Chain A
């Protein structure tokens, strides 16, 4: 089963454009990432620029509207993720617990929906939507 570990760094909601983690923190994180790789559980990972460099697309009244970041109301924003393939939820949690995160950081652990998790009607809908798109 796959899990996504969503890193929510403290204070990232109002970080200035181009904000980067410090070299020491990156070095520590590299050791962690390497451990995930050596254990054969790491499928993918990425870091995300702060919201001040991003934008939000909202759909009020069915119409797409774009707002540039930062977003004053957003306190908890995602700063990066790891995609892991593990045997159990506990294993994903154990890996999350080993992350050299800062004391204001949070890691949210979420299971990835697999196609086989969907009930038959949703599977059928997923299949047909793909076919009409192509």
Chain B
């Protein structure tokens, strides 16, 4: 085995094992930072030994054994306070008595530990940026360099962000426990938000030339699926998985041959990934069967499912989508949702009705100067045959977006709307 091949194999093992490893070590040490250091020590040992010895039969157990040995050394060396050392010793003893190979007992708890780690990485004591970075690092198993590349940031910036986050958690003495009672809903919302933010950063890059960074989408999906298996009776978790699976199903239809974005209704639906759509609809079904009022993610998934079920754009059930947006506005009142509702109304009941719904949002402070408001107005005006006004709106939208690809698309639409023939054709098509 050449060193490079071995190195890549070790990277793969790390990605698979590190979340569980760090979760188990956090339980022992009660400190995410210490746990990650220990896991890294074990990784270094693997990098030294595996190229010669080969990857062991149970790499997770191997890494854990090394990390625990290092943990014991560390605790002895640092002479922690009596209480903490006693606590640690007790955990050690319990494990050795119940299980000859500790990994059997570890396996039972590993899911619980991993879920606790997810909730810690997404703890509200951290900034959103820090939650995202820490989640990708601890749960996604990404290296600092990979996170930096995905977020177009320097490695030093990300490394510092992660170090600060771990320090903040340590100083705030965030307990390694699942939140209970009233706290739980808010903490879960934070977890789901972080996963959604990561997916969206990949799906619709907020800055730069690339419209899509697929690996971030895959990371978010993977972590969401993990959380769904750890919290099988939570409807919103399945709702998030459903939403992400269905959105990911469109990945290869969203971008033209020159990297330009293709809007949902113009996409070649034969390029949608049916397997992911099927998985998304299954997850939505699980969410709906769990009962209760659908939450924001499940509702968004239900809207995405309406599009996924339509074989061609003209088959879209816009009335159902408009109704789902009404429900979404109830649970998640936001100008952006209201704007999307206006789009749905425009398709369900005609562009005049849509424009009326948009007009209600004209004085919405948070939408002022937002490219989406201008873009939606432009679209509705174009369909009403008001080409010049439409072109004005598209140009305004182009000036407001930070995404280069999107700007090109909007400027194209501005030019197309200025052309009366094309504007007329667009309006008859819908």
The dominant DSSP class at the A interface is helix
With a cutoff of 8 Å between Cβ atoms, the chain B residues found around residue A44 in the complex are: 275
B12 to A130, Cβ gap below 8 A? Answer: no
Q: Give the docked Cα–Cα distance between A95 and B226 (Å).
A: 16
With a cutoff of 8 Å between Cβ atoms, the chain A residues found around residue B226 in the complex are: 38-40
A115 interfacial by beta-carbon distance below 8 Å: yes
B9 to A90, Cβ gap below 8 A? Answer: yes
A91 to B16, Cβ gap below 8 A? Answer: yes
Interface centre among B12, B55, B219, B279 (most CB of A within 10 A): B12
User: Within residues 52 to 107 of chain A, which ones have a CB less than 8 A from any CB in chain B?
Assistant: 83, 85, 87-88, 90-91, 93-95, 97
With a cutoff of 8 Å between Cβ atoms, the chain B residues found around residue A88 in the complex are: 8, 11-12, 15
What sequence of 0s and 1s flags, for each residue 251-264 of chain B, a beta carbon within 8 Å of any chain A beta carbon? 01001010000000
With a cutoff of 8 Å between Cβ atoms, the chain A residues found around residue B221 in the complex are: 40, 85
A93 to B12, Cβ gap below 8 A? Answer: yes
A21 interfacial by beta-carbon distance below 8 Å: no
With a cutoff of 8 Å between Cβ atoms, the chain B residues found around residue A19 in the complex are: none
A22 interfacial by beta-carbon distance below 8 Å: no
B16 to A94, Cβ gap below 8 A? Answer: yes
A130-B223 contact given A39-B16, A114-B252, A123-B257, CB 8 Å threshold: no
- Least distance between A33 CB and chain B CB atoms (Å): 12
* A residues with CB within 8 A of B: 37-41, 43-44, 83, 85, 87-88, 90-91, 93-95, 97, 114-116, 120, 123-124, 127, 130-131, 134
* B residues with CB within 8 A of A: 8-9, 11-13, 15-16, 55, 111, 215, 218-219, 221-226, 229-230, 252, 255, 257, 268, 270-271, 275-276, 279
Given contacts A40-B224, A93-B12, 15 further A-B contacts (CB under 8 A): A37-B225, A37-B229, A43-B275, A43-B279, A85-B218, A85-B222, A87-B218, A90-B9, A94-B13, A94-B16, A95-B16, A116-B255, A124-B257, A127-B270, A131-B268
What 10 pairs across the A-B complex have the smallest Cβ distances?
A40-B225, A40-B222, A90-B12, A115-B252, A91-B12, A130-B270, A40-B226, A94-B12, A90-B8, A38-B229
